[in-house]
């Protein structure tokens, strides 16, 4: 009888334990289901915000010409109270478009360097018509249409040579007496931005996304910048001549200084805005999209791209006066290559290769014994071999042309 009672008590305890375990298990299932629903809802909301932000970004991209630089526009793309913010900013000679969509505690962000594709074809070569014909010498090659003085080219035989191997493929027509004026002026202000001395940073990467405020690194006290690793929304600024050492690793950054030298062997992606000189030493590689820009009417200006260096993007030397153009020069040495657009409101010496197009006021050639005007020796201009998906610099504003803006690089 006592054994019976003991068994009944034991069975009751076991039953209670089993019920407790089942309750805990069921509770866990309910809790898991609840958090799974919360996670699914969060993922769904994030996907919805990503889709919405992408739609807003594409809308801003399609209407980019209505957005002023440094201006922020708001958009409720589906008219449901969820706002997207689009902003356009100049970054070298390119533009950066950012778009941010915010809902409750979630923020989705997208940034990209953008450029325009034009329906109107531009020439491979444009030289202002000052009634002095363009002369080609040596193994010069031009692939693509051109607009040149008098509507034709001639051959020059230099240093007593009796034969040339000049190659021309494309139509030639007469150019105008003025170089087409570019529609963009770069005025990048650092006023109001937080300026940080390079001495405040320990050696290590400096990364700043484009949805954050721009960081300005003041390096006026440092003539040569070595071992600096920077990426993103960063301006490196100096009031003195600045040299970028080959040990620095820079990506998407903007460099502002009166004179800039890129040291031999450097590899990176930069946008340079200088006042007087830009010197690209031998064996430098500036990846796409990189840009060099100078606008100056008072000082002598020189941009030199030395042997075996490559720039993918564009080079722009600009000004407002003809007298200023006489003091502006661009030199592309032998075996140096520019892939993209070159615009020089001044004089250009081309002994290397341009895979793309060039607009220049005139050419010049310096040899050990003499100097020649409007002569190209062994230079190559090849627009036909430019990469199919290459996006040109937004140089000209033409109301008869239509522009479609596209993403060059996601940031």
Asked if residue 404 belongs to a domain, the reply is no
Could you tell me which residue, 240 or 106, shows the higher pLDDT? 240
Could you tell me which residue, 238 or 164, shows the higher pLDDT? 238
Asked if residue 403 belongs to a domain, the reply is no
Q: Do 241 and 334 share a structural domain?
A: yes
> Of 118, 135, 158, which residue constitutes the final position of a domain?
118
Asked if residue 405 belongs to a domain, the reply is no
Residue 44 has pLDDT above 70, yes or no: no
Asked if residue 303 belongs to a domain, the reply is yes
Q: Do 276 and 179 share a structural domain?
A: yes
Specify the DSSP class assigned to residue 16: H
Q: Do 81 and 43 share a structural domain?
A: yes
| pLDDT, tens only, 253-272 | 999 999 999 999 999 999 99
Q: Do 157 and 104 share a structural domain?
A: no
Average pLDDT value for residue range 194-206 = 71
Residue 56's pLDDT is 86
Q: Do 275 and 222 share a structural domain?
A: yes
Average pLDDT of the chain is 85
Residue 310's pLDDT is 96
Residue 381's pLDDT is 95
> Of 103, 118, 133, which residue constitutes the final position of a domain?
118
Alpha-carbon distances of 75 from 67, 101, 210, 232, rounded to whole Å: 12, 9, 19, 26
Can you point out the beta strands (E) in 267-352?
267-280, 285-295, 301-305, 310-318, 328-332, 337-350
Asked if residue 251 belongs to a domain, the reply is yes
Per-residue pLDDT band for 349 (boundaries 50, 70, 90) equals very high
Q: Do 181 and 102 share a structural domain?
A: no
How many angstroms separate the CA atoms of 232 and 300, rounded? 32
Residue 279: Cβ within 10 Å count: 19
Per-residue pLDDT band for 309 (boundaries 50, 70, 90) equals very high
Asked if residue 142 belongs to a domain, the reply is yes
Q: Do 34 and 167 share a structural domain?
A: no
Q: Do 178 and 140 share a structural domain?
A: yes
Whether 124 and 170 have beta carbons less than 8 Å apart is answered as yes
Average pLDDT value for residue range 314-338 = 93
Q: How large is the greatest C-alpha to C-alpha distance in the chain, in angstroms?
A: 131
Q: Which domain holds residue 107?
A: 2-118
| pLDDT, tens only, 10-37 | 666 667 767 777 777 777 777 776 666 6
Residue 3's pLDDT is 44
Q: Do 161 and 287 share a structural domain?
A: yes
How many angstroms separate the CA atoms of 113 and 96, rounded? 4
* Phi, psi (deg, nearest 5) at residue 191: -65, 130
| pLDDT, tens only, 84-107 | 888 888 888 888 999 988 877 778
Q: Do 229 and 176 share a structural domain?
A: yes
Selection from 108-122, 252-266, 364-378 with the highest mean pLDDT: 252-266
Asked if residue 46 belongs to a domain, the reply is yes
> Of 75, 94, 118, which residue constitutes the final position of a domain?
118
- Number of domains composing the chain: 2
Asked if residue 411 belongs to a domain, the reply is no
Q: Do 137 and 80 share a structural domain?
A: no
Residue 41's pLDDT is 58
Can you give the pTM of this predicted structure?
0.85
Q: Do 133 and 63 share a structural domain?
A: no
Average pLDDT value for residue range 65-81 = 81
């Amino acid at each position: 009888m006592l054994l019976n009672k003991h068994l009944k008590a034991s069975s009751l305890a076991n039953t209670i334990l089993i019920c407790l375990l089942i309750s805990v298990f069921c509770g866990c299932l309910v809790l898991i289901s609840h958090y799974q629903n919360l996670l699914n809802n969060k993922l769904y909301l994030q996907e919805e915000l990503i889709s919405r932000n992408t739609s807003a970004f594409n809308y801003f991209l399609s209407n980019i010409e209505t957005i002023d630089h440094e201006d922020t526009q708001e958009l409720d793309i589906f008219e449901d109270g969820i706002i997207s913010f689009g902003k356009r900013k100049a970054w070298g000679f390119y533009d950066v478009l950012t778009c941010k969509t915010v809902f409750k505690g979630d923020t989705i962000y997208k940034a990209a360097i953008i450029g325009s594709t034009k329906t109107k074809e531009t020439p491979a070569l444009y030289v202002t018509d000052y009634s002095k014909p363009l002369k080609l010498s040596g193994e010069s090659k031009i692939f693509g249409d051109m607009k040149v003085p008098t509507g034709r080219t001639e051959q020059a035989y230099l240093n007593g040579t009796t034969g040339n191997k000049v190659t021309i493929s494309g139509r030639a027509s007469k150019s105008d007496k003025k170089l087409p004026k570019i529609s963009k002026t770069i005025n990048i202000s650092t006023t109001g931005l937080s300026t940080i001395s390079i001495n405040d940073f320990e050696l290590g990467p400096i990364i700043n996304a484009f949805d954050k405020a721009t960081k300005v690194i003041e390096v006026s006290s440092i003539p040569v910048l070595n071992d600096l690793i920077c990426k993103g929304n960063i301006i490196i600024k100096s009031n003195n001549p600045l040299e970028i050492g080959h040990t620095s690793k820079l990506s998407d950054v903007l460099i502002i200084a009166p004179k800039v030298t890129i040291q031999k062997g450097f590899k990176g992606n930069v946008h340079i805005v200088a006042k007087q000189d830009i010197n690209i030493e031998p064996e430098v590689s500036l990846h796409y999209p990189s840009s060099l820009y100078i606008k100056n009417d008072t000082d002598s200006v020189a941009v030199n791209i030395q042997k075996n260096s490559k720039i993918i993007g564009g080079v722009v030397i600009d000004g407002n006066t003809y007298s200023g153009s006489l003091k502006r020069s661009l030199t592309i040495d032998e075996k140096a290559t520019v892939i993209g657009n070159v615009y020089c409101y001044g004089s250009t010496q081309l002994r290397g290769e341009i895979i793309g197009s060039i607009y220049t006021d005139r050419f010049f050639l310096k040899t050990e014994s003499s100097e020649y005007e409007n002569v190209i020796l062994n230079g190559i201009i090849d627009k036909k071999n430019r990469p199919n998906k290459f996006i040109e610099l937004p140089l000209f504003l033409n109301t008869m042309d239509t522009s479609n803006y596209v993403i060059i690089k996601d940031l």
